[in-house]
Structure 1
Amino acid sequence: MSTTTLLTGRGLVESPRWHDGRLYFSDWSAGEVLAVGLDGRSEVIARVRSLPLCAAWRPDGRLLIVSSADGKLLRLEPDGSLVTQADLGSRGTWNDIVIDGRGNSYVNGAGFDPTAGEAPKPGSVFLVTPDGQVREVAGDIAFPNGMAVTADNSTLIVADSYRHCLVAFDIAADGGLSGRRVWADLGVGTPDGIAVDLENAVWYADVPNKRCARVAEGGEVRQVVELDRGGFACALGGPGRTTLFVTAAEWRGMGQAEMVAPGSGQVVMTSVEVPGAGWP
C-alpha cells in the first residue's frame, strides 16, 4: 500500500486523533499539539512541555492532554487555556490516553523512566472518570503504549511494546477492567500507537520494523503499510474514516539527546477499505 505525505519537517510525532474534519497530533520534540487539515495546512493549538505528550477528545468536544512532566491530565478550554482535569500523581512516565464513548479516560504509564536510563519495571493503566477520580485498573504491562476501545465500549486493547503483543480487557459498567487476555501475539512486531476498525481488527504502528500493520484477533496479519522510517502511531479518519494516518520519524534511540532525527517527523496517509470504529 502506497502512502502520501500530508505534513513533514516535524520532530517526534505521536498521538494522532481525527476530530471534526482535521487530524490532531503531538510533536513531542517541540512540546506542541497541532491540527492539520487534508489540505496540509496546520496550526498549533496547545503547548505543553512534556515527554511523552498524548491527547484525546472527550464526547463533549473537549481535548484532554496528558502532561507527564507534572503528573496531570489537562483540559483545553475554548479560550485556549489549560486547566487541570485530574491529578495523576508521580510515577515513572505517563504515556498514552484513550477516552471511550462514556467519557471515561484510560491513561497508561511505564513504571520507570526509560529516557533517564532506569531499569525496566512493569507499568499500569489508570481510569480517570469524568468527575476527575483516578484509580488503577490494570497492571503488569511491561511497557504500555497505544490503546483503543471497541465501538461497543466493551473492550480496551493495550499495546505492550516490550512483550510484543496486544492485551485486551473487558470494560465494566463502572469503567473497571477484567478478563485480561492476550488479544494478539505479534511475534517480532513491536506495537506503539494503535487504532481499531469496523471489523474489530487493529492497526498498529511499529518503530523498529518501519511499518504499520493490520492484525485480527489472534495475530493474523491482514495488511501491511511499509514505511521508510519508524511508525509511532496511527489513526483512522477522513471522510467515512477510510483514511489511515501514520505518524513517523527516523528513530535514533531512547538514550539519545534527540530520539529522532530533527525534521524527520511526518504524517503520511493511505486509503483503506475497512473504516475506523470506536476510539480513538
Structure 2
Amino acid sequence: MSDRELRTVVTGMSFTECPRWHDGRLWFVDFYTHVVCSVAEDGSDLRTELEVPGQPSGLGWLPDGRMLVVSMRDRRVLRVEPDGSVVTHADVSEHVTGHPNDMVVDEHGRAWLGNFGFDLMGGADIETAVLLRIDPDGTVTPVAEDLWFPNGSVVTPDGSTLIVDETLGNRISAFEIHEDGSLGERRDWARFGDLSPTRSLGEALGYGVLAPDGCGLDAEGMIWTADALGGRAVRVREGGEIVDSVEPGAGVFACMLGGGDGRTLFLCCAPDFDEHARSAAREAEIRAVRVDVPHAGRP
C-alpha cells in the first residue's frame, strides 16, 4: 500500500483505541484522558461525547441506539440512557482476571467482551482469560476460556460466527454462535505461529510473530487487524495469509473500516502501549487510508 496516501485525522491524544464508524462519524476512546470522542471523517468537528473516569475501552450500541462502553478499571460495562445519564449495564468483576477491554455488540444486543487475563502493565506472568457474553438485560455469562489475551472481535454479517483476536496467542480464533447465545468449540481462523512455551511476559513477547489487536471485517470476509508488536495493520484471509498491509511509521493498536462508503481504514497509532509513557504524553493519533473493499459485519 505504499502508493496510497495516509492522512492524519486526529492528533494530540494519549492512546486511542476501539474505533467505530457510527451514525456518520468515527467514534473512539482515549484511554488516559478518560473520554469517548467522535469526529467527522475529514477530522473536523472533534467532540467529547462522554467522560469515563474508570478508563474507557470497548464501544458498541444496543439495537435501540443506547451506547455501551467498557470501564476498564472498575470492571464494568456502562450504558448511556436516552436522557444522557450513565448507568451500570453489567458488573463483570467476578468474571475477569485483568482489565476488560475490547467488545463487539451483535444485532441482538449481546455484547461479547474480552479481558487481559493478568496485570499487563505490571509485567505479571501471562494468564489466559475468559470471554464473556453480556445479554441485553445485563446478565453475564462466560462462554469461552483459556484465551491468550482476547482482544478485538467481530461478528460476521449473518450473525453466525464470532471471530476473536488473541493478541498473545499468535492467532485469531473463531466460534460458531448458537441460537441460545452459547458458543461452539474454538477453532483457528488464522494462525501465525505457535503458542509461547513460557508464561513470562518478556520472554513470550519474543515468540510473537503477529500480535492481532483491534480489528474489523470487510465485505470479502477478510479481517484488517492491527499488529500490536509489528507497527502495522494487515489484511488477513481466513487461514492466515496476509494479503495486504499498511505501515504508518508508528505502532498500530486498533483499526476499523468506515467512512461514507465503508472504504476508509482508520488506524489508532501511538509510539508504544506503555501505560506510563502514554499517560504522560499526547503523541497518539488516528490516521486513515483508502482501501478497495468496504466494511462488513459488526462492529
Q: TM class, shorter-chain normalised? A: over 0.9
**1:258 maps to which residue?**
277
> Where in structure 2 are there 5+ consecutive unaligned residues?
194-208
What does residue 230 of structure 2 align with? 209
Q: 1:223 aligns with which of 241, 244, 252?
A: 244
Structure 2 residue identity aligned to 1:82: V
Deviation of 1:77 (Å): 2.1
Question: Which is richer in strand?
Answer: 1
The one of 185, 191, 196 aligned to 2:217 = 196
Q: Choose the corresponding residue for 2:47, options 9, 27, 43.
A: 43
Contact 1:17–1:23 (CA under 8 A) maintained in structure 2: yes
Report the CA distance between 1:208 and its aligned residue: 2.0
What secondary structure sits across from 1:200 in the alignment? coil
Are 2:84 and 1:80 equivalent residues in the alignment?
yes
Q: Does structure 2 conserve the Cα–Cα contact (< 8 Å) formed by 1:252 and 1:260?
A: no
Alpha-carbon distance in 1 for matches of 2:58, 2:185: 26
Q: Distance in 2 between matches of 1:261 and 1:225?
A: 27
User: Which runs of structure 1 show a deviation greater than 4 angstroms over 4 or more consecutive aligned residues?
Assistant: none
How far the C-alpha of 1:52 sits from its partner, in A, is 5.8
Q: Which amino acid aligns with 1:245?
A: F
Provide the alpha-carbon RMSD of the alignment: 1.5
Deviation at 1:252, TM superposition (A): 5.6
Question: Of 71, 76, 83, which residue of structure 1 is paired with 2:75?
Answer: 71
The code of the aligned residue for 2:239 comes to: G
8 Å Cα contact 1:96-1:145 kept in structure 2: yes
Query: Can you list the C-alpha shifts for 1:17-43, whole angstroms capped at 9, x where unaligned?
Result: 000100000000101100011231211
Contact 2:216–2:256 under 8 Å retained in 1: yes
Q: In the alignment, does 2:44 pair up with 1:17?
A: no
* Cα deviation code 1:169-202 (max 9, x no counterpart): 0001121111310100134111110101111100
Deviation at 1:261, TM superposition (A): 7.0
Counterpart-to-counterpart distance in 2, 1:45 and 1:272: 28
Q: CA deviation at 1:260?
A: 6.8
Paired amino acid for 1:105: A
Question: What is the aligned counterpart of 2:266 among 236, 245, 252?
Answer: 245
Shift of 1:53: 2.1
Displacement of 1:51 in angstroms is: 4.3
Structure 2 CA distance for partners of 1:52 and 1:39, relative to 1, 3 Å: closer
Kindly, what percent of the aligned residue pairs are identical?
42
Listed one character per residue, the Cα deviations across residues 108-154 of structure 1 (whole Å, up to 9, x for unaligned) are: 11221212333211011100011111110011111111111110101
1:105 aligns with 2:126: no
Number of residues of Structure 1 aligned to a counterpart in Structure 2: 278
**Distance change (3 Å), C-alpha of 1:252 and 1:145:** closer
Q: Which amino acid aligns with 2:145?
A: G
Give unmatched runs, 5+ long, in structure 1.
Answer: none
1: distance between equivalents of 2:288 and 2:272?
19
Question: Is the CA contact 1:46–1:80 (under 8 Å) kept in the aligned structure 2?
Answer: no
Match of 1:135 in 2: 141
- What is the deviation of 1:242? 1.2
Rounded to whole Å, the distance in 2 between the matches of 1:116 and 1:93 is: 12
TM-score normalised by L of structure 2: 0.89
1:156 offset after TM fit, Å?
0.6
TM-score for both structures, normalised by structure 1: 0.95
> Which amino acid in 2 is paired with 1:50?
G
Other structure's SS at 1:29 match: helix
Equivalent residues in 2 for 1:260-275 (5 A)? 262-275=281-294
SS in structure 2 at match of 1:257: helix
Query: Which residue is equivalent to 1:59?
Result: 63
Contact between 2:117 and 2:127, CA under 8 Å: does it hold in 1? yes
